[in-house]
Chain A
Amino acid sequence: MSEAAVGILGILLFFALLFLRMPIAYAMALVGFLGFSWLVSATAAFRVVSMDIFSTFTNHSFSLIPMFVWMGFLAYHAGMGTRLYHFAYKLLGHLPGGLAIATQGTCALFGAICGSNTATAATIGSISLPEMNKYNYDPSLSTASVAAGGALGALIPPSVIFIVYGVAAGQSIEVLFLAGIIPGILVMSLYMITIYLLTLRRPSLGPAGPRSGWGERLQSLSGGVWEVLLIFALSVGGLFIGWFTPTEAGAVGATGVLLLTMATGKLKLNGLKQSLKDTTRTTAMIMLLVAGSIIFSRFMAVSKLPFELASWAASLELPPFAIMALILLIYLVLGFFIDALALILLTIPIFFPVAVDTLGYDPIWFGVIIVLVVAMGVITPPVGMNVYIIKGVSKDVPLEKIFSGIWPFLLALIVCLALLLSFPEITTFLPELYR
């Protein structure tokens, strides 16, 4: 059997184990180990596993993950999301669908201090859904808008998914963070327009709330927005202007949120303890995924499958755009079944050489496109992670009802994807200014 055939067999075995409910990290590590043993030797495979796991866990480039994760959980347990929502609600709540529109603004603001898609959806969902229920919003609109809004947490910096992509693909974290800003704002705007158009057609989907005066609006600004802007400016801003390395930016952000929320009495000792528990759990989950993917990528490298795939793609008489469309289609389909982070870790060693080295696409642009496509996977059936999280928050809303409201938001993401594909400058504009 050829090395590439063993590679394909390994991928099939990985999917078989995945669908038998083996955790994705375990399946990647196990298949990577088995494949490497087959193609090289079991002794070498054990050596690779031991050294890879230890060097991944001590890798300085990954140290920033727990720091940015902690920053988000501190903000969550200090109730910063509630105050952000209060501000957005006072500003936009009077519009048709205004509460759902305000939810998107809150997701974007919270995304500026939280790097996770799912944490953003969970946090903002627990705050905004009770409000939308109070104003008789149709559950399909309210739940789907929060599930979709979670994507803003991944696109707007800081973003754990960009960190992982950056390390896996050898790209600068700060440039990726910069590249995500305009697409993040674009997705937020498209979501807002979608909600507005939906409620304009069917006002019963999202009845308008009471209008607030400018005095109230300005007052709500002091509740939490300045804190978020301050932390964002210090941490992510400090990273952009070169004061800090990415790890330092994470540590400064986490310390900033900690000091600010403790000094203002918003974070209690229990909240602090819980934030640490949530952070260690999330870090263990992410880092075992990363270690598993590194072992899997060793197997892919010795199978030479990515190189075979790259030379096959180069030999195709198709324009690069068509091959890119095919890659994105594969991501979209896989995204229906696999978690966003795991999907990126699994596929970067395979598709990155094709897209960047063979087809010549910009690696930063490719990263943003991939993050956007996997954001579709977290809201589509059957394993749309954000939908399940929102189901956990709104237990009385059937899963089908949430999925039924997802389609307009999915369409908004597709429109955004089409715009980013047609006008790469939307993504590359800020990074080019920075360079």
Chain B
Amino acid sequence: MKKIGKAVAALTRAMDEIAGYFLVAAVFLIVANIVAGVVFNSYILGTYEYVGFLTAAVIGLSLGYCALQGGHIAVDFLVEKFPPRARLVLELITGLATLTFFAFSSWHIVLYGLDTFRTGEIAPTTTLPLYPFIFLVALGLLVLGVVILLRVGKLLRKAVER
């Protein structure tokens, strides 16, 4: 279990680092487009589509690491007042509910990506196919689901130990 936890942490960290590079690329692309407009009076075709895809990659790749660090905002104060056993059971239920939701959502995004692959859907200006970016977002949600699964696993182990 510990080994899996370490592997997931390393994977999410690596994905997060790549997300950082995509962010830098998006920022520089916009600035390059402005400079091209001012200096050469011509613009980089499809800048906004590229930036949209890069932003989707930034978000998809960083969802898991954010969850691993407890970055998604939650309200703590009420649950902390519950007895430990009740808290454990309630957290287990909500953990399983979110895990199921994100697992199904990730799968349905894959199906959506497959749909766009079959129909050959492309972005209007850059003519880039949509499916690689859709799969990237699905991967992000899948990794988020794995992080939640790890948390549920920890809670289950705690429950068994009690």
Segment at the B interface, from A152-160, A162-170, A276-284? A276-284
State in angstroms the CA–CA spacing of A54 and B109 once bound together: 8
Q: Is A20 an interface residue (CB 8 A)?
A: yes
List of B residues within 8 angstroms of A60 by Cβ = 48, 51-52
List CB contacts (< 8 Å) of B5-51 with chain A: 16-17, 19-20, 23-24, 26-28, 30-31, 33-34, 48, 51
Q: With A57-B55, A63-B51 in contact, is A24–B73 under 8 Å at CB?
A: yes
On whether A53 and B65 interact (CB within 8 A), knowing A277-B20, A285-B72, A285-B73, the answer reads no
Q: How many whole Å from A348's CB to the nearest CB in chain B?
A: 17
Residue pair B62, A244 in contact (C-beta under 8 Å): no
Secondary structure of the A contact surface, majority rule: helix
**Nearest A residue to B144, CB-CB:** A288
A151 at the interface (CB under 8 A from B): no
- Verify B55–A20 contact, CB threshold 8 A: no
Contact between chains at B20 and A25 (CB < 8 Å): no
Assuming the contacts A30-B101, A58-B53, A285-B72, asked whether A255 and B59 have C-beta atoms less than 8 A apart, the reply is: no
CB-CB under 8 A from B56, the residues of chain A are 54, 57-58
Distance of B44 from chain A, by nearest CB (Å): 12
The reply to whether B30 and A247 form a contact with Cβ atoms under 8 Å apart is yes
Q: B71-85: which have CB < 8 Å to A?
A: 71-79
Please tell me which one of the listed residues A18, A22, A67, A279 contacts residue B98 in the complex, with CB atoms under 8 A apart.
A22
- Within the complex, what minimum Cβ distance (angstroms) separates A268 from chain B? 16
Contact status A342-B141, CB under 8 Å: no
Contacts of A30 in B (CB 8 A): 97-98, 101
| Nearest CB in chain B to that of A51: its residue | B112
A236 interfacial contact with B, CB 8 Å:
no
Minimum CB distance partner of A340 in chain B? B73
Minimum Cβ distance to chain B for residue A285 (Å) = 5
Inter-chain contact B62/A280, CB cutoff 8 Å: yes
Q: Count residues of B near A (Cβ-Cβ below 8 Å).
A: 56
Inter-subunit contact B78/A19 (CB<8 Å): yes
Residues from 369 to 420 in A contacting B, C-beta threshold 8 Å: 382-383
Interface residues on A, range: 35 or more
Q: Is the CB of A284 within 8 A of B71?
A: yes
B74, A49: Cβ atoms under 8 Å? Answer: no
Given A63-B26, A280-B16, A284-B66, A18 and B108 touching (CB < 8 A)? no
Query: Are A252 and B94 within 8 A (Cβ)?
Result: no
Q: Is the CB of A288 within 8 A of B72?
A: yes
Q: Is A179's beta carbon under 8 Å from chain B?
A: no
Q: Which A residues lie at the B interface, using CB under 8 A? A: 17-26, 29-30, 33, 46-47, 49-51, 53-54, 57-60, 62-63, 66-67, 70, 244, 247-248, 250-252, 254-255, 273, 276-277, 279-285, 287-289, 337-339, 342, 382-383
Which positions in B face A, CB cutoff 8 Å?
A: 16-17, 19-20, 23-24, 26-28, 30-31, 33-34, 48, 51-53, 55-56, 58-63, 65-67, 69, 71-79, 90-91, 93-94, 97-98, 101-102, 104-105, 108-109, 111-112, 133-134, 137, 141
Listed by A's residue number, 6 A-B pairs whose Cβ atoms lie within 8 Å are A29-B105, A57-B60, A58-B52, A280-B65, A281-B69, A289-B73
